[in-house]
Amino acid sequence: MIKEVSAEAKGRVNLIGEHTDYNGGWVLPTAIPQGTKVNLSARDDMEVHATTGMSFSKAESALKYTIGKESPTKSWIDYIQGATKILLAAGHPVRGFNIHVESTVPVGSGLSSSAALEVSLLKALREMFSLKLTEIEIAKIGQQIENEFVGAKVGIMDQMACALANFGEALFLDTKKMEFERIRIPTEKMDLVVINSGVEHQHAGGDYNQRRSECEQACEKLFIRELREFGIEDLPKLKELPDKLMRRARHVITENERVHQAVAAIRSGDMDKLGQLFYESHASMRDDYEVSIAPIDLLVELCRQQPASYGARLTGGGFGGSIVAITHKGKGSEVANAVAQAYFEKSKVKATILVPAPQ
């Protein structure tokens, strides 16, 4: 056992492929500069003492619990409790430790603040206790923490992205087969923009889990296991569904198709096509999946009004959070600043530009 270790995981922005991962579909995330770092020091007992900087949590900054007696508290320490509970149940030899967490990923921004914490924590525990865990196994445990301990029925995308995504590359991930390919982003042709709306979301809330339930209901009525089994050619079959379930399923099926088209557009350097797919994805999330909100729609529309913007869309689970946009090369900061200024004038809410990093 190592006495002191530290580990870091970057946040992620999903370029396209939203709410497809828990339907066995395809996603296309990439890493962002903001990340989460954990520092661990070993203890001689089974207690975990956790502290964090205010940049990560507005709740209690110092909490503790005993390994083997984990119990959900609805605070940020539940991600740590979930990790030790799952590792212990799987036979991994974990003991007490002190942990300090610092993060520059805004909480509730749709940029995987929770996944970045889970992955950085699990990487640190792997080193401290010499655990035999691969990056993919770490991602799966992170998802298990969310699903079984925190209560958010998220898919695997966030954890896989935080564990494996690199700057300047998109992680083209088949969440059913757990196969992935790294696709180079043509940064010589475009700038990436990420803007946090200032409206927090919360995955453990009922709306996110309800969408997953609606997809499962649609599958039951369509006699399939997962919506990934249907392609664009199967859309006429959705007319048998109730309207709400039809629209939920239509979003997932068309979004899977958009991911594949986006990969082709990136490979060919067709930024106009990629931008069009962004706008189509946002419209589908707004109208069919109903996970967007007025401030997010405003940010996307303000991007649309910028001549140097190729496209923009809600990124992440929705109900708040951030948008992702692509612009002409060298115009990212200019577009982001103009959009943030207009957003404040119209909403009186201050948006935060995360990418490109403010100069």
Q: Which of 231, 145, 137, 147 is nearest to 178 (CA)?
A: 137
28 vs 155, 255, 317, 320, CA distance in Å?
Answer: 13, 11, 14, 20
Amino acid identity, position 123: K
287 has catalytic annotation = no
Query: Cα dist. 126→40, 42, 121, 285, 295 in Å?
Result: 11, 13, 9, 37, 40
Using alpha carbons only, what angle is made at residue 13 by residues 11 and 18, rounded to the nearest 5 degrees? 125
Output the six-digit token pair for 212: 């997953």
Ramachandran class of 269: left when φ > 0, alpha when ψ lies in -120 to 50, beta otherwise = left
Task: Single out the catalytic residue among 158, 191, 270, 288.
Answer: 158
Q: How many CB atoms lie within 10 A of CB 114?
A: 26
Place of tokens 């939920």: 248
Tell me the one-letter amino acid at 358. P
Q: Measure the CA–CA gap between 58 and 68, rounded to whole angstroms.
A: 27
Helix (H/G/I), strand (E/B), else coil: 178: coil
Helix, strand, coil % over all residues of the chain, rounded to 5? 45, 25, 35
In 17-109, which ranges are E strands?
Answer: 26-42, 47-52, 62-66, 97-103
- Active-site positions read 158
